[in-house]
C-alpha cells in the first residue's frame, strides 16, 4: 500500500487522468465513498491516490481554493477572458458576469481583445473600457500573430506553476490563441475542436495541459452555459465588491444602503459621470443587480 499525490488533468465518465509528482501519468477512478459525500473530483483538484495491488484509486481531495461549475474546474489561479473585436460581436455583459464570478472566487482575471485586425476601432473601445477598469489586458490577432508573444511572456513570467484557463463565448478564438501561444499543444487542442465542430461545442470537458514553466492551461468550451442560479454564483450583497474599479469609492456614498444603481450622492455614479468608471461596466452592474435581486438568497456551500 502506497500513497501518491497528483493533479487531475482530465476527467470523463468517472475516469480521471492524473499527473503524479514523479511525472508519471495515471488513469484511475475515485473511491466509491465520494458518491455518498456528494463530492466528485474535478479537473484541477490536487488529490491523494492509494496504490494497492497494482491499481490506483483517488482516496482524498485537498481543500479547494475555488471551483467553477461551468466550465467545471477547481483551483484556478487565473482566468483569461477572450473578447473579439468582431465576428462574433463582443458580449460585454457576459464578460462582466464571468469576471465577477471569477473575482468572487478569488481568481485573477486578465482580458484579451482578440481578432483586433477585424475592427481596430472596436478593439480600442473594448481595450479602453477594461484598462480603465484596472484589468491587465492584451490585444491580439491570430493570423498575423500580433500580441501573441506578449501573452506568452506574461504567462511564462507571471503564471509559474499556476493553473490558468481561457474562457469566452464560442468562436472568439480561444483555441487558436492557445495553439499559437503553446505550439506544443497544437495537435491536442486542434483535435478537440475538430471533433466537436468549430464554434459549436457541445462538450463540457476541460483538460489541463502542462506549460513550460510548470503551470497548467485549460481551454474551455466557452461560457455561454454559465448559469446564474447555480451555486458558483453569489448574493446581491457581494456584487459591488466583484467590480474591482468600484473598490475605491465604496463606503463614500451618501446613503449607507446605497445600491449604486440610481441614488443621489452615490460615489460610484458620480465617478461614472466624471468618466472614471466605464459606462458599459456600470450597465452590466445594474443588470446583474436586477438579476440577483430576483434570485433566492444563496445558500452557502
Residue nearest to Mg ion (CB): 175
Beta carbon of residue 244, minimum distance to Zn ion (angstroms, whole number): 16
Q: Which does 266 bind (CB under 5 to 8 A by kind): Zn ion, ligand GDP, Mg ion, none?
A: Zn ion
- CB-based burial, 194-216: b 16+ in 10 Å, e otherwise: eeeeeeebeeebbbbbbbeeebb
Beta carbon of residue 78, minimum distance to ligand GDP (angstroms, whole number): 18
Q: Which does 260 bind (CB under 5 to 8 A by kind): Mg ion, Zn ion, ligand GDP, none?
A: Zn ion
Beta carbon of residue 236, minimum distance to ligand GDP (angstroms, whole number): 31
Distance CA 170, CA 199 (A): 5
Q: Which residues bind ligand GDP (CB under 6 A)?
A: 114-115, 118, 141-143, 168, 170-176, 193, 198-199
CA dihedral 125, 128, 133, 135 (to 10 degrees): 110
**All 3 cell numbers of residue 92?**
460585454
Site string for Mg ion, 157-176 (x = CB under 5 A): -----------------xx-
Smaller CB separation from ligand GDP, 145 or 214? 145
Instruction: Supply the DSSP symbol for 98.
Output: H
Smaller CB separation from ligand GDP, 143 or 237? 143
Percent helix, strand, coil in the chain, to 5, is 35, 25, 45
Distance CA 121, CA 141 (A): 14
Span 238-277, contacts to Zn ion by CB under 5 A: 253, 258, 260, 266, 268
- Closest among 53, 102, 50, 56 to 79, alpha carbons compared: 102
Rule CB under 5 A: which residues touch Zn ion? 253, 258, 260, 266, 268
Rule CB under 5 A: which residues touch Mg ion? 174-175, 193
Amino acid at each position: 500500500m502506497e500513497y501518491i499525490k497528483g493533479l487531475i488533468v482530465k476527467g470523463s465518465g468517472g475516469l480521471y487522468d492524473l499527473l503524479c509528482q514523479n511525472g508519471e501519468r495515471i488513469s484511475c477512478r475515485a473511491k466509491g465513498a465520494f458518491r455518498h459525500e456528494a463530492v466528485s473530483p474535478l479537473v484541477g483538484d490536487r488529490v491523494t491516490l492509494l496504490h494497492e495491488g497494482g491499481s490506483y484509486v483517488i482516496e482524498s481531495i485537498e481543500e479547494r481554493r475555488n471551483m467553477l461549475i461551468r466550465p467545471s474546474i477547481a483551483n484556478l489561479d487565473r482566468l483569461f477572458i477572450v473578447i473579439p473585436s468582431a465576428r462574433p460581436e463582443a458580449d460585454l455583459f457576459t464578460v462582466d458576469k464571468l469576471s465577477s464570478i471569477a473575482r468572487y472566487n478569488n481568481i485573477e482575471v486578465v482580458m484579451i481583445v482578440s481578432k483586433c485586425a477585424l475592427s481596430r476601432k472596436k478593439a480600442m473601445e473594448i481595450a479602453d473600457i477594461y484598462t480603465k477598469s484596472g484589468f491587465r489586458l492584451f490585444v491580439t490577432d491570430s493570423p498575423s500573430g500580433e500580441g501573441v508573444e506578449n501573452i506568452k511572456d506574461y504567462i511564462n513570467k507571471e503564471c509559474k506553476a499556476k493553473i490558468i484557463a481561457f474562457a469566452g463565448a464560442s468562436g472568439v478564438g480561444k483555441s487558436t490563441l492557445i495553439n499559437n501561444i503553446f505550439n506544443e499543444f497544437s495537435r491536442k487542442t486542434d483535435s478537440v475542436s475538430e471533433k466537436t465542430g468549430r464554434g459549436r461545442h457541445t462538450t463540457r470537458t476541460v483538460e489541463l495541459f502542462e506549460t513550460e514553466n510548470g503551470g497548467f492551461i485549460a481551454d474551455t468550451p466557452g461560457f455561454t452555459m454559465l448559469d446564474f442560479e447555480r451555486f458558483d454564483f453569489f448574493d446581491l450583497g457581494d456584487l459591488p465588491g466583484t467590480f474591482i474599479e468600484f473598490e475605491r469609492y465604496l463606503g463614500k456614498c451618501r446613503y449607507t444602503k446605497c445600491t449604486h444603481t440610481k441614488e443621489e450622492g452615490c460615489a460610484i455614479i458620480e465617478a461614472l459621470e466624471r468618466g472614471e468608471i466605464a459606462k458599459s461596466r456600470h450597465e452590466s452592474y445594474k443588470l446583474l443587480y436586477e438579476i440577483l435581486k430576483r434570485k433566492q438568497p444563496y445558500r452557502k456551500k
